Structures are given as structure tokens and as C-alpha cells.
Amino acid sequence: MLLEEITGLVYFDIMEMLERKFDDIEWEVEGNEVIGVGAVDGIDVQVRLSAITYYNEQGLNVVFALKDENGKFSERSGTFKNATVKQASSIIGAVANAVIQKLDDYDWSFVTMIAKDNIETRMKLYQRIAHRIKTTRKHPELYEFFGKVNGEGLVALVKKDASHILKKIESEADK
């Protein structure tokens, strides 16, 4: 079954999400970003971790993209439209596990994922990635925020010792 056939809901294979890693991933640094490019079952995926500052705290923004029909990495959710549930679950799992692995390399107080279009669908994907990050033994102490800020969907994971960031985000959330 294709994801586009599942109306209103996005289903995932939980085992794929928990266990899946990239077949191979290469990381490089470009300015304030760390970019990983790898493959999952022959599907090319790019993961970007960008350093950001919010109220004097250091954080990382996570973005991932698949190759589109033109062979370029695209964050458009349409790149998932022909993915099966298993393929989508594998990609989400691989992205989450790659992020979990890289978080240990950086000093951070929060992690964000922002949805600027197709907000409802992207938020479901980002929430699953965030949940996977939070439920690892490495990062169980995180607070979560799922909501909208300035009309954009925002998923944030905040370390307990930076809870003031969570309060700021909550105060700026759309009502």
C-alpha cells in the first residue's frame, strides 16, 4: 500500500523505525551545518544538522530530504508520495538513528524540526523522529514541544537543564 492511498493518517512499521540505519552514510561539514548523505534501500537521503542559537542557548535544527524526480535533494513532502509504508518507515528510522548518533558529537540544549508547508503531514513525521530520539537510552531527559509558532509547525526537544527555552517556545506558540 502506498502512503498516498492512506487518507488522513500516516502509518509506519514500528520495527523498521526502531532498527533501521542507513546502508552507508557519509558526513561532511559545510559552514554551520553537518550534512550526511546516505541510502536506505536504494533511496538517497540527505540529513542536515544546522547549528542555531535561541535565547543564548545552542541547538541543532534537523532537516532531511529525498532525491526528487530531477535528481536533486528536496524537502517537499511529495518526494514520499510513492513510498511504501515499509520504505517510509525505513527512511524515518534511518534519519532518527543518524541524528541520535550525531547528537553525541555536539554540545546542544535543544533540537528542532520545522514544517513550513504540508504542516500536518510533516508534523506527524517529525513527531515520530522526535519520539525515537527521546526514547533512546542516550536522551531520555528531554522535554517535548509539538505545535505552531508563527504559522509554522515546530517540533522541539529540549534538555531539562534548558527548560527556560521550552517556556520561551511555549510563550511564542500560536494560540
Per-residue pLDDT tens over the stretch 104-115: 888 899 999 988
Instruction: Provide the domain count of the chain.
Output: 1
Which residues in the chain show pLDDT less than 50? Answer: 1-10
Q: Which residues, 6 or more positions from 40, have their beta carbon under 8 angstroms from its beta carbon? A: 20, 22, 23, 87, 90, 91, 94
What does the pLDDT read at residue 80?
63
What does the pLDDT read at residue 131?
83
Domain that holds residue 111: 3-172
Structural contact between residues 17 and 100, judged by C-beta atoms closer than 8 angstroms: no
Which residues sit opposite 115 in a β-bridge? 153
Please report where in the chains the cell 500516516 appears, as a residue. 10
Question: Domain holding 63: CATH number?
Answer: 3.40.630
SS3 per residue for the chain: CEHHHCCCCCCCCHHHHHHCCCCEEEEEEECCEEEEEEEECCEEEEEEEEEEEECCEEEEEEEEEEECCCCCEECCHHHHCCCEHHHHHHHHHHHHHHHHHHHCCCCCCEEEEEECCCHHHHHHHHHHHHHHHHCCCCCCCEEEEEEEECCEEEEEEEEHHHHHHHHHHHHHECC
What does the pLDDT read at residue 14?
62
What does the pLDDT read at residue 9?
40
